[in-house]
A and B are shown apart, each in its own frame.
Chain A
Amino acid sequence: AQRVTQPEKLLSVFKGAPVELKCNYSYSGSPELFWYVQYSRQRLQLLLRHISRESIKGFTADLNKGETSFHLKKPFAQEEDSAMYYCALRGYSSASKIIFGSGTRLSIRP
């Protein structure tokens, strides 16, 4: 079964503290993994993808195939990081749909 699990609905941390948003997946094969961010009342925006290995806005995510995880991390949280974060996966075939996790609301306290 294709599934993305984000166990935390809400994560609240202080500004400057490290952040880790957890994501586990289930997929037969090797999917593409993504993190999308949704700021209040705005569109879903791609934050990063595992194949690019980029660091965007200080966030990184490492794909662990053994643990089927793709946790999102940032060493020092900033207030503007407050948003909904969705982990997602996609197969490599044409017109392959994205499957989203249920999302984690990250709240950064001043």
Chain B
Amino acid sequence: EPEVTQTPSHQVTQMGQEVILRCVPISNHLYFYWYRQILGQKVEFLVSFYNNEISEKSEIFDDQFSVERPDGSNFTLKIRSTKLEDSAMYFCASDDSLSGNTIYFGEGSWLTVV
């Protein structure tokens, strides 16, 4: 079964540093998402992306965050000037968003900001 893959699986970074989390969505999918799960809390929507544009973003997704699809296969989440509260598991997801289709999630990238 095709999978969404994410790298790195775990990253430790110093506060104030920039971080890029990478995702390879399922190849025929057109819609991409990033979600965040702070330890012990629920999974929160960050942003959706389609046709090289952001479709929707949550209030969490402020100017500190950006997404892009640099090469037609990878889908990246950049966090500028990380803060301690950015420590979380970040999940990438993709689907083709036809009615009745499933969003598939990657295994997640665990970010620890120290």
Contact = CB atoms under 8 A, between A and B. Distances in A.
Interface of A: 32, 42-46, 49, 51, 86, 90, 92, 94-103
Contacts of A43: 91, 105-108
Contacts, number: 49
B42 A86 contact: yes
Interface in B71-114: 91, 93, 97, 99-100, 102-108
Contacts of A101: 42
B42 A97 contact: no
Interface in B7-57: 31, 33, 35, 41-45, 48, 50, 55-56
Given A44-B43, A44-B91, A86-B42, A94 B97 contact: yes
A95 B103 contact: no
Given A43-B91, A49-B102, A95 B48 contact: yes
Contacts of B31: 94-95
A39 to B, nearest CB: 11
Nearest to B51: A95
Contact of A51 (B48, B50, B100, B106): B100
A77 to B, nearest CB: 23
Contacts of B108: 43
16 contacts: A42-B107, A43-B107, A43-B108, A44-B91, A46-B103, A46-B104, A49-B102, A86-B42, A86-B43, A94-B31, A95-B55, A95-B56, A95-B97, A98-B35, A101-B42, A103-B42
